[in-house]
Chain A
């Protein structure tokens, strides 16, 4: 094997395609943004004014630290996806961050300074319930972890287990909370719903006392109880509208004492489950005796438990108030309350907890964006200022998962759009032309109205062009005198315009997040939050965002560009099709992709489930492409549905074909449009689901151009490509998963006639299959179950040495099947996603962009995936520049287009052509977003950055003058000779 690889390396060095980033190019054309996802737990480092660190644990199983001054990531730990790596709880004490991971699987301690792992302890099996710090004699030394059937104590210093106790009667009793107030005991609270409460006190030196308290109204401690004051359990019962208190530590059998809310003059919002919020500033001391009671969506009350432990005194009523939070610094504890101020802002104020008085000069304004989400959680970082007053900074998490950090007096320090950690789909849209360019374009667009007005119009537009040019020159001159650092190229929506080579584009990203977690069983947790973002591709700055509410949790999205920016003065138009996967009902969101504004276009009524949507090349009088939506009765709705469009559709009906795929039935069928916009089924292919199931279907990208119709072979003849724009690649996987019998099927089906062009079976293979379908080839990757490795296979289709009909391709008139060539290679790494580069005219050679699990993005030349790679090198194959066949596909580090900027959890790669033929824009998204440019055939149409204009022009001038002078000298010499 070593011999093989060494030879392989020697062989490869002959086909060296150097393609790496130079050191000075790093970050010049590319950028990366790192995200963490929806914050579940957030803590600030310490309560001093100068502290800069904050720590978050998120639903993406990430533990990260931010610099609170800039919002930049200090460090980030990405754990396994799924429940195995989910973070159950994050506790912070001093320099240690304690984390329970994977539903009570692991207990980890991190050093918060550098983000290193102190220790990791494997916990006994059992699902996680709660955890808390335990202090011995005023110092926090232990952490208690409560599982379904056991409680264990671990040392903070090394993670060793102090003791573990099985909980009595754990089948009947649901143990939900653990409490320690700094005494010698740890209390575990369990409940038998609607029967009684069980309190178990464990002395730290291992002993137990069991108490049982009658509590027929209590169903869950987690949602309705907190511990306040000197170990008093405070519960709220929505049925009897009363608060119950119970001293946990009482010696004899305690009893709940009831306090009716009515007696406190409090009223619960109808249908609202009251919520209690308390605070335990230090684990070695008992919690505060003050607590919040939430009575309605925007109604909170600050209450105080009196020293006797039975009576409650109301301190202050907050209505309206969205969010409340406690914060402690030194000895002082304050409450932060967010109240609505007006349409565009919320106000946050601090209140003294002891008295309920408002602290002066503590108002901070939180700006509410019209299209953003509402505030969701408040994290307050309070600190003592030099004059001993309380200062604070606040982190607000909104419903669209954005984190906003605000400093007094109301300055937004930074915002992180964490929704972008979950991009579902994206599109790139050209930026609009500048005003002057648009003017010129508009001149050509308008209908001609006489010679003279046309001349006038031309003159006026020339004048405006001249004006713009002069203004530009003036600006250049003006800015040249300023120091370089002051000249900023701020990108705003107003200054957005297309650059010379169309390299800067607008990225429209659709994000979705809203996984229902174990914790998030509130009603709002089930609705999927979906955001639309417009991002400048050059700098990565977010130019607009739009937050869509009430999208179903399992919706599917399709982003369609109906009108590009090319049709001035009509604004560009994008449509987002949101389809509920259960009911199939769809809604449309039409917007302008440059500004993010919702368009006020009459949307068609879609009462029936939508099966398929297709964008036709037909355009209406406003240059918007027509979107056809097919419902479950095979009726067609057109959008936009103007008279013009319907007329065009009627004329073209007999040539509009579409296909539907029902992967659950293995059914592929084709339809033709009738003149009355009904449809008729014209073909049907059925893949029996007992044998194989359809996993994916891909057509070709509509904006793909193929420059060369064929390939010139060694003997100068031409092998023509089979370029069927209607071809579908259907990939199936066998239902039989036995390694010997499993297979992956690849079907190439014509989408118009339903003809199976090619049918291949990859034996002893299984998915996940990643594939790319482009031009005349399909590349797919699968897992070989026999050899236990990943393999790449390439299929290429050729018409042969003669074209059947060279002028136009029609699926209806192509009787001969194409020749199919196929070759397979070993790929030394698993992959997560795959895409092909795309350029303006398709002249540039193609590369495959492969996202690897390591976070690298590999640019693999298509040349290596060529089924015509010869086994034996001949004269012809050398002439054709074919690489001799080698079963192994190389991975060379200089092919990593993102050098060391790894993209964590790559989910998709999007490619878009630019105005330069050599350049393809690439966006890789997953947890991070990475944008770059690739040059598959190098920059053949661009002069290098360090091109020496001065030298070239001086040489040119010198030569010019040299010719002039020598000509003159020659003339003089000739004259002299003539005189002689």
Chain B
């Protein structure tokens, strides 16, 4: 994302980031400006709100709109506006007193939109305001869903995540968010891998067991038997002569 020229980013009033589920290919940039809003009518949009106050009392304001689309390919995109002059000032002040920057999204279901059952309540997450400022508003927002497609949690982190106390001089750095957005569904935990294990055992069996079973006793040890037989024959033929020699001597 950093590779995008800043002037270009500035020109795009609404940077839209579209990321497919579990696929970190970000189709970022202003080339798609406006597209996101026009084409995704099959999905729906929920507000993404944020709050940063010096006195730490939450007052949520609109940050942008999340375009959610359920179904087989769950996807999400975000359209958000720039921070105003006043907001930038407040954010810097909050960062100075080590305040928090909070975001929230309403609880929704991605799958059953027909019932339109709006659940009350929000999902909230936070990040330290100073780290947001120091990372020049580069944040990673992750939405988590459960098995049936309900949003269950949201998280926000900044990259880098640390607060080192570096001054952010350039007001320009704090104008637009550089957001990476992902939506994560639960992974399926593995089952015991019996089939593979048995297969492997069979292969090992074949390797080890088969050649031994096929060969008969004689086939396997013919050279020993032969050797033994020759030895016996040789010794039996040699013995009488040796014995005879001894007898003769005595």
Contact = CB atoms under 8 A, between A and B. Distances in A.
B192 A887 contact: yes
Interface of B: 56-58, 98, 100, 102, 104, 107, 119, 121-128, 131, 140, 142, 144, 146-148, 150, 152-153, 155, 157-163, 184-194, 196-198, 200-201, 205
Given A685-B123, A691-B146, A745-B146, A822 B161 contact: no
A759 B98 contact: no
A692 B148 CA distance: 10
A682 B126 contact: yes
Interface stretch (A297-305, A514-522, A748-756): A748-756
Contacts of B152: 685-688, 756
B186 A745 contact: yes
Given A686-B107, A760-B187, 10 more contacts: A7-B205, A683-B124, A686-B153, A688-B119, A688-B152, A761-B188, A812-B131, A813-B161, A823-B190, A825-B192
Contact of A755 (B56, B146, B155): B155
Contacts of B185: 759
A870 B161 CA distance: 35
A759 B188 CA distance: 9
A682 to B, nearest CB: 5
A887 B187 contact: no
A476 interface: no
Interface residues of A, number: 52
Contacts of B100: 672, 682
The 9 closest A-B pairs by CB, nearest first: A755-B155, A685-B153, A813-B161, A887-B192, A815-B157, A759-B186, A815-B161, A684-B124, A762-B189
Contacts of B146: 687-688, 691-692, 745, 759
A759 B152 CA distance: 11
Contacts of A743: 147
Nearest to B98: A654
Contacts of A760: 186-189
Contacts of B187: 758-761, 820
Most buried by A among B57, B98, B152: B152
A815 B158 contact: yes
A868 interface: no
A686 B121 contact: yes
B74 to A, nearest CB: 14
23 contacts: A4-B197, A680-B57, A682-B100, A686-B123, A686-B152, A686-B153, A688-B119, A691-B146, A691-B150, A745-B186, A753-B125, A756-B152, A759-B146, A759-B185, A761-B188, A761-B189, A815-B161, A824-B190, A824-B192, A871-B197, A872-B200, A885-B193, A887-B192
A822 B144 contact: no
A756 B144 contact: yes
Secondary structure of the A contact surface, majority rule: strand
Contacts of A682: 100, 102, 124, 126
A687 B201 CA distance: 42
Contact of A754 (B107, B119, B125, B194): B125
Nearest to A867: B190
A481 interface: no
Contacts of B58: 680
Contacts of B161: 812-815
Most buried by A among B119, B124, B150, B158: B124
A4 B205 CA distance: 11
A614 B249 CA distance: 106
A688 B104 CA distance: 17
Contacts of A814: 157, 161
A826 interface: yes
A916 to B, nearest CB: 37
A515 B146 CA distance: 39
A3 interface: yes
Contacts of A887: 192-194, 197
A942 B197 CA distance: 40
A647 to B, nearest CB: 19
Contacts of A654: 98
Contacts of B189: 746, 760-763, 793, 822, 824
Most buried by A among B153, B159, B185: B153
A755 B150 contact: no
A760 B127 CA distance: 25
B201 A754 contact: no
Contacts of B197: 4, 871, 885-887
Nearest to A795: B189
A682 B155 CA distance: 11
B147 A691 contact: yes
B153 A791 contact: no
A681 interface: yes
A3 B200 CA distance: 13
A761 B56 contact: no
A674 B186 contact: no
Contacts of A813: 131, 161-163
Contacts of B198: 4
B56 A871 contact: no
Interface in A655-682: 669, 672, 674, 680-682
A758 B159 CA distance: 19
Most buried by B among A681, A813, A814: A813
A531 B98 CA distance: 48
B188 A763 contact: yes
Given A7-B201, A813-B162, A680 B56 contact: yes
Nearest to B140: A815
A758 B188 CA distance: 11
B190 A754 contact: no
Most buried by B among A672, A674, A761, A822: A761
B122 A684 contact: yes
A669 B197 CA distance: 43
B188 A755 contact: no
Nearest to A782: B189
A645 B147 CA distance: 45
Contacts of A681: 124
Contacts of A823: 190
B109 to A, nearest CB: 8
Contacts of B155: 753-756
B195 to A, nearest CB: 9
Most buried by A among B125, B163, B194: B125
Contacts of A872: 200
Contacts of B148: 688, 691
A43 to B, nearest CB: 52
A824 B193 CA distance: 8
A826 B191 CA distance: 9
A825 B194 CA distance: 9
A352 B157 CA distance: 85
A812 B147 contact: no
Interface in A800-832: 805, 812-815, 820, 822-826
A824 B144 contact: no
A824 B147 contact: no
B160 to A, nearest CB: 7
Most buried by A among B150, B184, B185, B192: B192
A135 B159 CA distance: 89
A465 B140 CA distance: 63
A759 B150 contact: no
Contacts of A820: 187
Nearest to B191: A824
Most buried by B among A680, A692, A812, A885: A812
A708 B190 CA distance: 27
A872 B193 CA distance: 13
A812 B144 CA distance: 19
A887 B186 CA distance: 24
Nearest to B144: A756
Nearest to B121: A686
B126 A761 contact: no
A264 to B, nearest CB: 69
Nearest to B157: A815
Contacts of B188: 760-763
Contacts of B121: 684, 686
Nearest to A758: B187
